Amino acid sequence: MVLAVYPADLPQYVEVQGFSGGLPDGFVETDFEQGPPRRDREGGGGEGEPITCVTWITRTQKGILVPFWRDTLQRGLLPFTWVHPFDRTAATLEFMKGGLKYTLRSGNLLRYTMLLRVLP
């Protein structure tokens, strides 16, 4: 399967302020009606590294990002290649649920927050 590539016409760097990451949990937790939750080791290849990053784009660039997410990635379902926002190495990423949000910051600039998972 050939992976989509993050568009070169979009910012290739994310803001330091607003970036966060973490290590994935190595277990699955099951709640019961009584007592503490049960924890089991996660099988398979494990989860990827969850990251949150912020980027600023123009209204013109929104016309690139939204079709990339909606059409190319099938509303964020498919993975894509880009550089890891922190260590700048090649990475395969995917959007997490609810992973693309924006707010208007000035006349032509939009602040996008992306919830991504770096795949192993």
Q: In the predicted model, what is the mean pLDDT of residues 111-115? A: 90
Q: Which domain holds residue 64?
A: 4-118
Q: In the predicted model, what is the mean pLDDT of residues 72-80? A: 94
Which tokens sit at 33?
């009606």
> For 98, left (φ over 0), alpha (ψ -120 to 50), or beta?
left
Confidence of residue 27 (pLDDT cuts 50, 70, 90): low
Whether 37 has a pLDDT exceeding 80, the answer reads yes
Residue 95, pLDDT score:
93
Which tokens sit at 100?
């693309």
Contact (CB, 8 A) for 55 and 65? no
Contact (CB, 8 A) for 96 and 118? no
- H helices within the chain, ranges in order? 59-67
Query: How far is Cα 2 from Cα 53, in angstroms, rounded to an integer?
Result: 25
Whether 69 has a pLDDT exceeding 90, the answer reads yes
Of 54-63, 73-82, 105-114, give the lowest mean pLDDT range.
105-114
First-to-last C-alpha distance (Å) of the chain: 16
Number of folded domains that form the chain: 1
Please give the share of the chain, as a percent, with pLDDT higher than 70. Answer: 85
Whether 8 has a pLDDT exceeding 60, the answer reads yes
Nearest C-alpha neighbor of 120 from the set 10, 28, 42, 33: 42
Whether 16 has a pLDDT exceeding 90, the answer reads no
Nearest C-alpha neighbor of 54 from the set 102, 14, 106: 14
Q: In the predicted model, what is the mean pLDDT of residues 52-64? A: 92
Residue 106, pLDDT score:
76
